[in-house]
Structure 1
């Protein structure tokens, strides 16, 4: 009984050492675990719209746009979480075939590409995002929500956080002698 408890504690300690949680991970986890509550809100709003449209024959003017707005936020923040989970696209046929030193080179190259891409997106989108936010640009519909004013800056912020999380993952994974698969269920314990 005691040996089993000690073994479970050792497994927990080992799993935390494999993927230590630093401030970058905490920001990613906070955002993703907070934003996930928008998904039930989207479902409730869509159910309301279906009821109003097909039962009462009084469709809303705002439900579709609100759902698009919230789903866009979930999509952007989901990119940060997917990066943290290391569930991004990778050509595993080649990656799994090579030795760990070559895998590290592949990881370095992909991280450099992500950082350069993020820098280009932020550089190219900064002026438009700033203008949209400071003028509180709206969606130009009847409901007229400030979707551009919020989504353009959020896009830049999420791209920056994805690049930051990618660098963080590279640093953590670089130290491991073998690439380890991340188990998100361990966060819940």
Structure 2
């Protein structure tokens, strides 16, 4: 298992993936009009939305229609960057030691989520700069922040499931024998899968309708937040259920883990503190003990 992380390509590929995905989402009405056109009135409304938001107006496409060359290049680049990202992602030292193909997908989505957090922070800082320094606020920063935050919230849930970092109560779990722990794990996984199934079964009609109509937020910027986040909820919840099954299989023969308060301590940070203060805690950063020793010396 590779555990070296942080190379340049690991951050470049998620950024390229976000660019392709963002372009496709913004121009998705073009593909809807070309591939599965709705009825005439709805098609006219969708065409008006697309022409208003088209980043490359007037550019022709390889097959005619509304989608142009850049749209198809983004469509081609999305699976390519997804594949490269899954192949090149590496487990960081503090991440959970599980590396099945489904784990690679979840960790790569986690890297994409981290990049979206950087983009979200950049948008907010840009808005603050324009609003309070130049007194020229934008019409799009607030809605774009909400849009990105929605994707971050959803994708972070998948990464948390892969890392086993979701909220769990171990008081009863830790005192049970291993066979009963497996039973608890199986029950929780079945409940997650059932929840995902019924959520998708009950919500796909509404999500598809919002996507088909390209429902927007109704503001000056008017981003398609309902049209994109509703289907994303169902997709991510399905992936979370799959990841829960993968976790169950991966942890089935694992040794039982006794959870303590020490689990919340970052081992890397602890090692840095030990190196800074010395093996016996008398380094330069050990202010408390140094002060005590200094006072004792003065008294003697």
Please report the TM-score for the alignment, with normalisation by the length of structure 1.
Answer: 0.82
1:77 aligns with 2:127: no
1:114 to partner: Cα distance: 0.6
1:156 to partner: Cα distance: 0.4
Question: Pick from 214, 222, 231: which aligns with 1:136?
Answer: 214
Q: 1:70 to 1:101 in 2, by over 3 A?
A: same
Residue pair 2:120, 2:148 contacting (<8 A) in 1 also: yes
Distance 2:120 2:168 in 1: 31
Distance 1:163 1:25 in 2: 13
Aligned equivalent of 2:197: 119
Aligned equivalent of 1:4: none
SS at structure 1 position matched to 2:190: helix
Aligned equivalent of 1:90: 168
Greater per-residue helix proportion = 1
Instruction: Report the RMSD for the aligned CA atoms in angstroms.
Output: 2.1
1:178 to partner: Cα distance: 2.0
Aligned equivalent of 2:238: 160
Larger Rg, first or second structure (1 or 2): 2
SS at structure 1 position matched to 2:99: coil
Aligned equivalent of 1:35: 113
43-52 or 154-163: bigger deviation = 43-52
Aligned equivalent of 1:106: 184
Q: Deviations over 1:165-186 (max 9, x none)?
A: 001000111122424889xx9x
1:136 to partner: Cα distance: 1.2
1:176 aligns with 2:219: no
Distance 1:35 1:19 in 2: 20
Q: 1:80 to 1:180 in 2, by over 3 A?
A: farther
Residue pair 1:49, 1:60 contacting (<8 A) in 2 also: yes
Aligned equivalent of 1:146: 224
Distance 1:68 1:177 in 2: 42
Distance 1:29 1:20 in 2: 10
Residue pair 2:174, 2:258 contacting (<8 A) in 1 also: no
Distance 2:108 2:198 in 1: 26
Aligned equivalent of 2:143: 65
Distance 2:133 2:151 in 1: 30
Q: 1:69 to 1:180 in 2, by over 3 A?
A: farther
Distance 1:28 1:98 in 2: 30
Residue pair 2:174, 2:257 contacting (<8 A) in 1 also: no
Distance 1:120 1:77 in 2: 20
Q: Count matched residues.
A: 167
Aligned equivalent of 1:48: 126
